[in-house]
Chains A and B, each alone.
Chain A
Amino acid sequence: MMRYIFSGFLLIAVLFAACGGQSDPSAESAPAESTEIAEDAGNESVPPRASAIRLRVATTTSLYDTGLWSYLEPMFEEEYGVELDVLYAGTGKALEWGRRGDVDVITVHSRTREEQFVEDGYGLERVPFAYNYFLIVGSPDDPAGLAGMTPDEAFGALMSRGEAVFVSRGDDSGTHGKEKAIWAAAGYDYEDVRTSGDWYVEGGSGMGPTLVMADEMNAYTLSDMGTFIAYQSDLNLEPVVDQGDVLLNVYSVLEVTSSGNPEMAANLVEFLTSDTVQELIGNYGVDEYGIQLFTPCAGLDM
C-alpha cells in the first residue's frame, strides 16, 4: 500500500508540473519538435507542450465529418511547425468556445451569428473561404411529394400535412439555424413547428448521426451537401429539394480576439484563403465522390 501512495504522490507532483508548464504563455516562438511528443502527450511522464505552440481551431461538424480538416491539418502543421488541435462541434458550441477564449480560430457557417460574434468583439473579422448548398433529403419514393418545390414550399407541405417525419438537428448548429430561417421564410413560427406533433423529431446530434437517423426513420432532413455526399453511399436517401437561394451555405473562418497566439491564428486564416489551399478545397473529394464538395470563395463577399 505504501508503495502505491508514494507513486501516487509522485504522479500528483508530475501532474502539477505538467499543468504549470502548459499555462506558460510565453513560448510563442518555439515551433518544431512537434509530432512525436504530441502522440505521447497523454503519458504523464511527458509534460504537454506550452499551449502557445498548440493552435486550436473549433470547426463545425460538416468540415470535420467530410474529412476536409483531417486533410488540411498535416499541411498546415508542416508549413508552420505548429501542432493544430481540431475540435468539432455545432456552430453554436464552436462560437461559445470562442467567446470563452478556449479556441484560437473558428470555422463555422452561420452568417448572422458570425457577424454578431465579430460585433460583440469576440472575433476579428468574418472571412468566407468556401461554400456549397444545403439539401432537403429524403427517401427516394418521396412520400410527401416534395420534389420540384422550393425550400419554403416544401417545408410548408411538411407542416400542413403533419405526417411525413422530419428530423431536425435540434442542436443550435449552423444547419439548425438554416432550418429555422427556412421555416421563417415559409411563414411559420419555429416554436409552433417544433411543438406541432410527432412528425417533427429533434435529433440533437451532429449531421452524420442525423442523416443516419433520417434514413432509419424513412424521414426527411436538411443536410449540408458535403456531409450528405460523404455519407450517401451508406444511406438510402436522395436530395429532394436542392434549388433555392436560401439553401446557400457559406463557410467562414474567424480569428478569435482573445487568442493567446494571434500570429499563428492569422496564419491559419491566410492558409485557408491562400490560392494553393483554395484550389485544394475546390478539388477535395472530387476523386472519391465524383462531385465537388466545396466551392472556394476567398475574397468574395458572401
Chain B
Amino acid sequence: MSQLLQAVRIALDMIISGDPVVYSIALRTLMISISATVLASVIFIPVACLLHFNSFRGKAFLLSIVQTLYSVPTVLVGMLVFLFISRAGPLGSLGMLFSPGAIVLGEVLLIAPIITGLTISALSGMGRNISDTAISLGAGRLQMVLKVLSESRYMVFTAVLMGFGRAVSEIGVAIIVGGNISGYTRTLTTAIALGVGKGETAASIALGIILLILAMIVSLTVNTLQHSRK
C-alpha cells in the first residue's frame, strides 16, 4: 500500500514539476494514438456505413469476423506489420520500421475492427424509421446516411473512444514496430514495460497513472464537444 501511495506521489511530482522526459513521452503517446484513432475513424466509419446500408451475401458472416477481430492480439498485429514494413518485407522501401508512423499504422489496423463493428451496432440501433422518414422527405441516399449517422453520433463517438482506448493502452504494436527508442518511439506503455523489467515500480505506476489521466482528458474533451454541439 505504501508503495502505491509513494507511486502516486512520484506521479504527481512528475506532473507538477513538468519532468521533460515524461511530458515528451506522454505527448508522443497522445499524438500517436490520436492520429491512429482519427485515421481509423475517417476510413472505417464510412466503411461501416457502406456495410450497414447495403445488403449482400455473407454479410452476417463478415460482421461476425469483424467482431472476432475485436480480440486480435496486439502482438500479432505488431508482428504482421513488422513483416510488411521491415526492409526485407514488401513495403520495406518506405523505411517506416521503428518510427512513430509505423506505430500509427499498426494501431489503425488494430482498432479498425472495433470502430467498424461498433459503428455498425450504433447505426443498427437507430431502427428504420429515421432512414425511412429522411427518404420520404426527399433526402438522397447520402443525405439519408448522414442523417442516420448524425442521429447515432453518441454511439459512434463511443466507438471512436473505445478505439482510442485500445490504441493508447496497447503495447504489442508499439514495442515491435516502434522498438521503444528513447526520445523517438518510446510510448507510455513501452516505457512502463521497460520500467517493470528494471524493477522501477514506482516510476512505472506513475506512468500508468499519467496514461489514465490522458485517457480521462480525451474522454472529457470528447464529451464536452458532444454536448456543446447539441
What is the bound-complex CA distance between A15 and B181, given in angstroms? 20
Are B146 and A1 within 8 A (Cβ)? yes
A51-88 contacts to B (CB < 8 Å): 51, 54, 56, 65, 70, 73, 83, 85-88
B135, CB-defined interface residue at 8 Å: no
B183-202 contacts to A (CB < 8 Å): 183-185, 196-199
* Chain B 18-47 interface 0/1 with A at a Cβ cutoff of 8 Å (1 = within): 000000100111011001001101110010
* Chain A 1-19 interface 0/1 with B at a Cβ cutoff of 8 Å (1 = within): 1001101110110010011
Known: A19-B101, A41-B100, A86-B181. A8 touches B86 (CB 8 A): no
A195, CB-defined interface residue at 8 Å: no
A299, CB-defined interface residue at 8 Å: no
Known: A101-B87, A205-B197. A42 touches B28 (CB 8 A): yes
Are A102 and B184 within 8 A (Cβ)? no
What is the bound-complex CA distance between A67 and B191, given in angstroms? 15
Binding-face segment, B89-97, B125-133, B208-216: B89-97
What is the bound-complex CA distance between A293 and B159, given in angstroms? 51
What is the bound-complex CA distance between A211 and B149, given in angstroms? 54
B160-211 contacts to A (CB < 8 Å): 179-185, 196-199
Are A231 and B98 within 8 A (Cβ)? no
B92: A residues at CB distance < 8 A: 101
CB distance from A94 to the nearest CB of B (A): 11
Are A48 and B150 within 8 A (Cβ)? no
A22, CB-defined interface residue at 8 Å: yes
Task: Output the nearest chain B residue to A35 by Cβ-Cβ distance.
Answer: B183
Task: Output the nearest chain B residue to A12 by Cβ-Cβ distance.
Answer: B39
Known: A22-B99, A42-B31, A85-B179. A12 touches B42 (CB 8 A): yes
B104: A residues at CB distance < 8 A: 15, 44
B146: A residues at CB distance < 8 A: 1
Are A39 and B24 within 8 A (Cβ)? yes
Task: Output the nearest chain B residue to A233 by Cβ-Cβ distance.
Answer: B199
Are A100 and B86 within 8 A (Cβ)? yes
B182: A residues at CB distance < 8 A: 70, 73, 86
What is the bound-complex CA distance between A178 and B15, given in angstroms? 43
A162, CB-defined interface residue at 8 Å: no
CB distance from B46 to the nearest CB of A (A): 8
B153, CB-defined interface residue at 8 Å: yes
Are A85 and B181 within 8 A (Cβ)? yes
A258: B residues at CB distance < 8 A: 87
Known: A12-B39, A258-B87. A19 touches B96 (CB 8 A): yes
Are B31 and A44 within 8 A (Cβ)? yes
A234, CB-defined interface residue at 8 Å: yes
Instruction: For B150, give its contact among A1, A39, A65, A101 (CB under 8 Å).
Output: A1
A206, CB-defined interface residue at 8 Å: yes
The 8 closest A-B pairs by CB, nearest first: A8-B42, A42-B28, A101-B87, A100-B88, A42-B100, A23-B95, A51-B95, A87-B179
Which residues of A approach B to under 8 Å, CB–CB? Answer: 1, 4-5, 7-9, 11-12, 15, 18-20, 22-23, 25, 38-44, 48, 51, 54, 56, 65, 70, 73, 83, 85-88, 99-102, 205-206, 208-209, 212, 231, 234, 258, 260
| Further contacts, 13 of them, CB under 8 A, given A15-B35, A25-B95 | A5-B46, A11-B42, A19-B101, A39-B183, A41-B184, A44-B100, A86-B182, A87-B98, A99-B88, A208-B197, A208-B198, A209-B196, A212-B197
